[in-house]
Amino acid sequence: MADVYDFTAETNDGAQAPLADYRGQVMLIVNTASKCGFTPQYEGLETLWRKYRDRGFVVLGFPCNQFGGQEPGDAEEIRSFCSLNYEVDFPLTRKIEVNGPGADPLYVWLKRQKRGLLGSGAIKWNFTKFLLDRSGRVAHRYAPTVHPKALESAIEALL
């Protein structure tokens, strides 16, 4: 795959969503989970989405159950949990894997574009964040411990 716009995600309701639909926008791609110590970050991600979406910014949540079984629900349970507990309105996909032989091709590509701490390619835990510029290049990779609010200056610089 040449760039992020060559990938398609399956939305939470089963529709195909080409990432090319987000061409020209700043994207924050995050692997998420509903039963994780970092789950409250949904609130901060939603805040970023609401604050910047009218300026060409999108948050894309990719639920993942690979870390401690912290996303056991099906698509409807995930959507309901996020909506009821955090009023999540940003796009969520079907559950994916981010590491190993079953890793979603988008995540294989993301990890090649921006390595983690000490040069690691693997995603270490839920809520790892990739911030992409308007050209679809990965500008930053953030550890799960980095709260969404801390990304505001980087987002504003890309907008």
H/E stretch holding 80: helix 75-86
**Whole-angstrom distance, CA of residue 139 vs CA of residue 130:** 8
Cβ pair 33, 126 in contact under 8 A:
yes
Backbone φ and ψ of 46, nearest 5°: -65, -40
Q: Are 111 and 4 in contact (CB under 8 A)?
A: no
- Residues in contact with 96: Cβ distance below 8 Å, sequence separation at least 6, in sequence order: 31, 62, 63, 64, 103, 104, 107
**What's the longest Cα–Cα distance across the chain?**
38
Q: Using an 8 Å Cβ cutoff, are 86 and 46 in contact?
A: yes
The catalytic residue positions are 36
